[in-house]
Each structure stands twice: as structure tokens, then as C-alpha cells.
Structure 1
Amino acid sequence: MNSRKIMEVTHTKYDIAINLDKEPEACIILKQVMADEKYGFTWDNGIAPVTPAAEPKLLTGLFDQLSKQNTASYIDEIFSICHLDYTDERYILDVDKDYFNHWEKTLKKETDYPIVGLNTGAGQRWPTRQWKVEYWESLIKSLQDKGYYCVLLGGKDEHENNLALKQSTGSFYSGYFSVQQFIALIAQCDLVVTQVTMAMHLSLALDRKLILMNNIFNPHEFDLFDLGEIIQPDQGCDCYFGSSCIHGQSCMQYIKPEEVLSAVERHLPLDQVKLKSNYSYEL
């Protein structure tokens, strides 16, 4: 947000203003905004809850032990912060019609088999979430042997690895794209395998089946809406919210390709799945 936009926001009167971000810049802006009602996090010589409802989420961000004890999903938490009752409301997400049609035509030429999207990266902030490239390659080959069609997903950071996986497995990959193009591509998938990433949220918003690999986060935070399952290392993770592993090697290595393959088969069985994506958008 540039300085002009900040000036506009802080000099406009609102009925309700909400900030769910615990970054200082966002909290200071909410402090300066004029609104009849405010919810979330503000600034008071430091990050502070606007109302008592936001205090638990602030504390879980400060103290790992409290965070580990939490059993509420993130969606439930943000509803509470806004003084609302969560009753299983789902994400709402638009899909660009032209991009959707482009990917539908492209993939129709490639396959009539169920499409599994594989989001191979996890961003640079938490390298501990990364799954081995060799594991992705093994999973892809096993999925292909079973009769699934694999589509590689990712951004700029995953480009080189995805090119290598395309070369070694023959899976579909045509580069990285804008967010709207990425959304439309995920909409063509019947199921997505990913770590905790933007692709996870987009898949849920598009009502896609989901296999979520998690290690460093509290699994209670994720509401998958009965669309799939969470797979974690059996022995647990000692690096809660950690960007580096105290053992020198991420425990993601203990999530084996065979385990992920079995999860895909459970949630997208070949003898029951309808061929091609059943996602529809409203024009």
C-alpha cells in the first residue's frame, strides 16, 4: 500500500474496520482509521487487541505452548475476533471465465484421466515445510502407474524443480502464472496435494479434494471441510513454527510417498471418480 492510499484509508470514515494481521504497519493503520466499530489488532505502544475477543489469538502468536494447546480452527478464531459465530461458512472465490476455458481446453487435449495437482513448493519463509524433490518424483510415477494424470503447480521459486520433474516424469507443467491463472488451473484438478500454502486455501475455496502435508503448524488450525485429510510425520515435529530444523533435516522426510499415494486413492478412488473437474463457476 503506497502513502497516498494510506492517507485515503486513514482519512475516511467507516462503519466497521477490521484488521486480522499482527504486523505493526497494519495495526497502526487500524489505530488511525476512523470507524464506529473496530475488531482485531491495533497499536498501543505495541500490537494490542481491539477487544478482549482478539486477546487469545494474540497470546497464541507470542507463546508456542498456548498455540500448541489451541483446538480451534483459524476460521473459527477470526470469526470470534470479529464477534461473529462460525457456522461452517465456506470460502467464496471467483474464477476467471477465460482462464478457466483455456485450461479446460488445454487439459482436455492431454487427458481424460482424473487430475491430481501437485503443489511442489512451500515458499521461502519456512523451508522446514519442503518435501524432497525425489519424493515428489516417486509420488508422480506411482500416481501415473495407477492411472492418475499429474499437473505440477507452483510459482517462480518452484519453477526449476517443476521443470526437472516434468523432464523425469512427463507430468504436465507449462510454467508459473498470475494468481487468476493459477486459480483457474487448480479449478481443473480433481484433487490437490500440497503443503501449507496458498494452494491449500485456493483448493478449499474451489471445493477440490485435498491432501495436506503438515509438520510445523498446529493441525487444529486447518478446517478441510471434509474434503480430504492431513498427513503428518508419525514422530511429531520439534520445530514448531520453525524456519530451520534443530535436527538439521526436516521431519517432512518421514512423510513417505507411499503414504501420500494411499491418501490420494482414499479420497479420489479411480472406480468412483467422475472424469474431469466438476467445478463450475457463475458468469
Structure 2
Amino acid sequence: MHADQVDVPVDVVAALVAEQFPRWRGLTIRPVASAGTVHALFRLGAEVVLRFPLRPGADPDLRAALAREQEYAVLLAAHLPVAVPEPLGLGEPGDGYPGSWAAYRWIPGATAQLDRIDDADGFARDLAAVVVALHGIDTGGRSWPGTGRGGPLADQDVDVRAALAVSGELTDTAALAEVWDRCRDVRRDDPDVWIHADLMPGNLLVRGGRLVAVIDLGAVGLGDPAVDLMPAWNLLDARSRETYRRALGVDDATWERGRGWALEQAINALPYYVETNPVMAGIARHTLRAVLR
């Protein structure tokens, strides 16, 4: 998917585990099929999942980001009504892999799709309860740090227009440009809150047709609460989309910014993944159709 991504062979993973986590030496290691774009996943025994960044490096900031994600997992676990990944350790670079990596407890479940959800309206209400709880965590007066999703939507204008310019054969870029122009400069008065910032279907786990976990906390931080409205367009159907909106109780301005964030994510993903990740491209197409309605 990425020009600079690395292969992560199972034998390399096994050697790193044996050296750095000897208590897990000898446990079966098997790759986990995933449409994710950031990590290679490996199931270690029955209880552990290992996450290896596809674009590793020795930059201490990358290790710090993995450590911060584990800190945020502990914070969110104390407040959210569904499971989040439980940190079990951080791995270090070693022979065959040049970066840090992470271990979490495995959470059983399947990634969210409407055909895996028994009651879409109930799912929308459950997801809204998660988002309300997340946005209610005390920020300690902190705000958006200046990078990542969650700042002014207008800051994304250059990237969105560049993506629209190369997507004319993939989607209705003229109609999407009109929506973007409408959403981009919607006024915002609400304060920054804790946000997940990447509520994609692949980061929501279902079991028995119900939402059971929110995973992949790498983008968690502080910012515009509208960012966490993206599932309204990237996953839900028209009816459950309205259920989600009612359960969140958001105003028109926040809703339109949420539409803009969903468009921003999808139009950047579509041309990038159209040849390399059909699942992500499919989600992007679904999202862009939904934001036009």
C-alpha cells in the first residue's frame, strides 16, 4: 500500500518475541488478515495481538507515539462503555525489524459491517454512547495540539482539492466540491474534546451483532468533536445515520463539519488505495455517496 512499507515475516516476529518477551516464547504466531493501513497484525497464542507498524523507523517520536497510544488506552478504558485494547507491552527494534512495536490483549470480534449488525439503530445508539462518554472525559484545559485531525476543517482544503483533482474518474468530484465548499467554513463555537479521530468500520468490533469494542487508538487526541461523526457516513445507512445524530444531540453546524471530515478522509483515501486496498477504497466510495445525500 505504501512505497516505504516493510515486510514483517513471522520468523522475525517469533525471534523478537522470544528475545524480548521470553514468557511468550513458544506460543503460536500467525498473521491476522486485515484491511488496516498502518500495522501488520499477528495473533500470539490465544490472548495477545502484536501490532507492527508497516512504516517503522528508529525515530524516537515513533516509539513515543506507540507509548502514548498505550497510555490513552488506559485512560479510555476507565470511561468508555465498551472495551478498548489492553496494553501488554512495547517491543523494541531488533534483527529484521527496525522499529518499535506493541502488544495488546486480543479482543474477540469482527470489524463492523451493516450485514454483521443485527439492529443498525441500536448499534448507532451504542456508538453514540461511546462517543458521548469519550467527549465527556476531562481535557484538563488542553486543546488540539496543532497536528492530526481535529483542528480547523479549512486547514484540509489544499489536500482535499488535490485529491478531488485526481479522482474525476473515480467519483462525482463536482458534486463533492460543492459539499466541501459548504462544510469547510462552517462556524465552530464548541470547545475541543477528547476524540478517537479514526472511527472507521475496521476500528469498531462487533460480536453477536452488537458493538463490543473500539480499537486502534493511534489517532486519539484532542480536537473538534465533529471528527467523531464520521461513522454516520462511512458505515451507517440513512435511517441509522439519523438515529446516531439524534442520540448525539449535535447541532446543524457540528453535523455539517462531521460531513466535511468524512468527505476529507474518504476523498484522500480513494485515489491512494484504489489499486492496493479494495476494502478501504470501498469504504471511501460508500462514504462519498453518503455525504452527497
Fold in common (TM above 0.5)? no
Q: Which entry has the higher C-alpha Rg, 1 or 2?
A: 1
With normalisation by structure 2, the TM-score equals: 0.30
With normalisation by structure 1, the TM-score equals: 0.30
